[in-house]
């Protein structure tokens, strides 16, 4: 397996290693990508049915291919635009770490919107503060457990137009 060349950057505590894309063919498309969504879609096109995301269901790993993830991202981005969301609109994302978080985040960006990530431990007051300050027009919520404080915050701010559930 080829290891990319690392070049130290900075000094002291600020020193970090930076990968030189010219040293690794897998990283060469980074320089040509205008944004993260374009890079993702190029990789999805190249990797096709290779596994991209995975999670456990009943103790067994289930994977989603690059192609399938890209299709979901594009369909969800299109749905966000049909809801009336436009470039620069904020969309809050209330979810634990899961494949759908990644899909929603990429779809939000693909729709031209800005992701407003939140903590799953936020209270109603925390969510109200974030929704009010961000001006989020839509909110993704992953589970029923996380829904109650979000709904309370939406009622308090009155700014959110769309509430989108990730689970049934």
What gap in Å lies between CA 146 and CA 93, rounded to an integer?
11
Tokens of 141: 């919520």
- Count structural domains, the chain: 1
What gap in Å lies between CA 44 and CA 71, rounded to an integer?
9
pLDDT of residue 3: 44
Q: What tens-digit pLDDT sequence spans the chain (168 residues)?
A: 444 444 444 555 554 555 565 666 666 677 777 899 999 999 999 999 999 999 999 999 999 999 999 999 999 999 999 999 999 999 999 999 999 999 999 999 999 999 999 999 999 999 999 999 999 999 999 999 999 999 999 998 888 999 999 986
Question: Which domain covers residue 75, as residue numbers?
Answer: 51-165
pLDDT of residue 51: 97
CB within 8 A of 122, min separation 6: which ones?
A: 94, 130, 149
Residue 108 in any domain: the answer is: yes
Beta bridge partners of 63: 54
Tokens of 65: 């291919």
Tokens of 80: 């966000």
pLDDT of residue 113: 98
What gap in Å lies between CA 114 and CA 94, rounded to an integer?
14
Tokens of 148: 């109650």
> Whole-prediction pTM value?
0.83
Question: The domain spanning residue 87 has which CATH number?
Answer: 3.40.50.980
């Amino acid at each position: 397996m080829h290891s990319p060349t690392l070049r130290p950057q900075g000094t002291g505590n600020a020193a970090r290693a930076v990968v030189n894309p010219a040293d690794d063919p897998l990283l060469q498309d980074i320089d040509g990508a205008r944004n993260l969504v374009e890079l993702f879609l190029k990789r999805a096109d190249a990797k096709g049915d290779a596994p991209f995301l995975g999670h456990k269901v009943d103790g067994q790993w289930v994977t989603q291919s690059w192609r399938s993830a890209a299709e979901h991202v594009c369909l969800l981005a299109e749905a966000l635009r049909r809801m009336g969301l436009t470039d620069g609109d904020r969309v809050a994302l209330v979810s634990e770490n899961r494949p759908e978080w990644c899909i929603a985040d990429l779809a939000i960006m693909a729709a031209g919107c800005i992701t407003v990530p939140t903590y799953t431990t936020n209270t109603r007051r925390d969510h109200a503060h974030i929704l009010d300050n961000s001006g989020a027009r839509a909110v993704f919520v992953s589970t029923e457990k996380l829904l109650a404080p979000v709904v309370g915050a939406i009622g308090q701010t009155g700014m959110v137009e769309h509430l989108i559930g990730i689970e049934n």
